[in-house]
Amino acid sequence: MSNPEASIPRFLRSCTDRFGQKEAIVLGDRRESFESIERASAQLARGLLLAGVGKGTRVGVLFPNGPDWATAFFAAARIGAITVPLNTFYRPRELAWTLRHADVHTLLTVDRFLNNDYLAGLEHAFPKLKDSENKGLYLADAPYLRQVFVWGDCDRSWARPAAGVEAKGEWSSIFDDDFLASIESAVTPSDSLVIVYTSGSTADPKGVLHSHGTVLRHSLELATRRGLRESDRVWLPMPLFWIGGVAFGLLGNMHVGATTVFDAPFEAGRTLEVLERERVTISTAWPHYIKAMQDHPDFKRRDLSAFRSGDTQDALQPRPERDPGLQAQPFGMTETCGPHTFGDMTKDLPEKLRGSFGVPLDGVEHMIANPETGESLPEGDQGEICVRGWSLMQGLYKKEREETFDRDGYYHTGDGGYVKHGSLYFTGRLGDMIKTGGANVAPREIEEVILKFPEVLEAYVAGIPDSARGQIVAAAVVLKPGEKLEDEELRGRLKSELSAFKLPKLISFFDEGVLPYRANGKIDKPGLVTLLADHLSGDNA
């Protein structure tokens, strides 16, 4: 899978040479061409070099979807730094944990987004920041963090305005075009590109490390499989801090010269206006986004006839009823840089492949292992899905290779399934990860936050099936004897600790001893799901 463009510097040059002044990214009134993205990221790259960033430096990127995110990502990547995309929904506790775990040295951030004041959040996470100055940060709680650059209002002594990292005047003469080119020539496909954080099966998220070569080759493969065209205008609602947004979305679009259209945050009425105005041709949206637009009063009056593919087209142009069991959806995860299987969604599967998630992508191998012994199982037997191949991550940050891959190089995904007729079938998570609205949520993380509150004796979190979101987060709480706590009070406390997508949609209180337990004293998760689902049905009755 060698490719001369499998590093970000070469990729950017190739895109600029081929597509030049064509629109690359649209957000509201901002329209950035391939050339302008390359030029802006080169300018910022020089500033980062002057600020001491180099190959292997961890650079945190905390921006909403849009041109600024892309500029920051490419600037860091083209000089060999490792980008750490940060979730814009992070609460201070989550942001602090990730900055520390990723050993972020330089943080590039907007001052605020939606209801999040990131500068105040950083001061809440790291109280000693208030006593620091921008000459260099030295915090025991974030020992590698040295500098923060802010896009927007910067009124803190410990931070620097974005202008302070943009190479201008005499600075530009230090890192001229020849010097930047020399730096970029040392960036190789094998170099680490990004650490993407995804919820783990325990309380702590996992830092998934991908190389330049993996992300660029896989994003090109996915773009080719999807049949993207240079003429396409792709609405991308997926956050760029997740692998789907950056690899399946932005980079895939750029490979073929397609225009990426952002609209952050999603709001059904405004988004419909954007889709019409920008003549969007393709979207990949979660079902609850589609439903919200279908239910909006503007839906029928908007001209969305430019759509040729994606969920939105299916909503607009009802087709003969298709059997969902005969449609091969792609299947993947952050660790495999997105989908590791693919099927032709334009055609129905043969009956013998009903329920299949397609075949492995080129260069990917599957093995079904006995979850207890790790031994390979024969075709048709159910076990744990294991993956290896060129789209697989380099490893998990701060985890030894032997903890991550088996002796044959397979990654044990925690997904249950089997292989039949060369196709992969998924039967469910072996663990209890909740997948809601496109996001992964670790129940244990939420449980630990709830258990911190003095009134709480026990707390258990599970995913309840939901037609729009896949699952919703639900919590069962047992209070200590004599204590009182209302669900709205508890939810209010959780808002300061957890991202919005992790907040339980349902909180149910139970007396001690009522919840279902196994003989070993552990909670019976299937029984808990049933109990919570019954409570949800009762609430909706």
CATH class of 36-211: alpha beta
Average pLDDT over residues 52-81: 97
Global pTM value: 0.85
Tracing tokens 């100055």 back to the chain, one arrives at 133
Q: What integer pLDDT is reported at residue 9 of this predicted model?
A: 97
**pLDDT grade for 191, boundaries at 50, 70 and 90:** very high
Average pLDDT over residues 460-486: 91
As a whole number, the mean pLDDT across the chain is 90
Which has more confidence, 202 or 484?
A: 484
Q: Are strands 434-436 and 383-389 parallel, antiparallel or unpaired?
A: unpaired
Average pLDDT over residues 230-242: 95
- Closest by CA position to 346, among listed 313, 303, 306: 313
DSSP state of 517: B
Please state which architecture CATH assigns to domain 329-429: Roll (2.30)
Average pLDDT over residues 374-394: 93
Question: Residue 182, SS3?
Answer: helix
Q: What integer pLDDT is reported at residue 174 of this predicted model?
A: 78
Structure tokens at 359: 């075949």
**pLDDT grade for 195, boundaries at 50, 70 and 90:** very high
CATH superfamily of 436-540: ANL, C-terminal domain (3.30.300.30)
- Are 260 and 24 spatial neighbours (Cβ–Cβ below 8 Å)? yes
pLDDT in tens, 315-364: 666 555 667 677 777 889 999 999 999 887 777 888 888 888 889 998 99
Q: What is the rounded (10 degree) CA torsion for 442, 445, 450, 453?
A: 180
Which has more confidence, 483 or 351?
A: 483
Which has more confidence, 404 or 537?
A: 404
Average pLDDT over residues 243-269: 94
Is residue 271 predicted with pLDDT exceeding 50? yes
- Looking at the chain, the whole-number percentage of residues with pLDDT higher than 70 is 92
Q: Which of 151-155, 192-196, 292-296 has the highest mean pLDDT?
A: 192-196
**pLDDT grade for 202, boundaries at 50, 70 and 90:** low
Q: What integer pLDDT is reported at residue 319 of this predicted model?
A: 56
Largest separation between any pair of C-alpha atoms in the chain: 72
Tracing tokens 């730096």 back to the chain, one arrives at 183
**pLDDT grade for 103, boundaries at 50, 70 and 90:** very high
Q: What integer pLDDT is reported at residue 330 of this predicted model?
A: 85
Is residue 1 predicted with pLDDT exceeding 50? no
pLDDT in tens, 167-189: 665 556 678 889 999 999 999 99
Is residue 2 predicted with pLDDT exceeding 70? no
Alpha-carbon distance 120 to 109, whole Å?
Answer: 12
pLDDT in tens, 502-535: 999 999 999 988 899 876 667 888 889 999 998 8
Alpha-carbon distance 91 to 69, whole Å?
Answer: 19
Domain segments of the chain as ranges: 36-211, 329-429, 436-540
Query: At a CB cut-off of 8 Å and minimum separation 6, what does 273 contact?
Result: 298, 302
Q: What integer pLDDT is reported at residue 169 of this predicted model?
A: 56
Q: Which of 127-131, 404-408, 443-447 has the highest mean pLDDT?
A: 404-408
Structure tokens at 429: 């998570």
Q: What integer pLDDT is reported at residue 171 of this predicted model?
A: 57
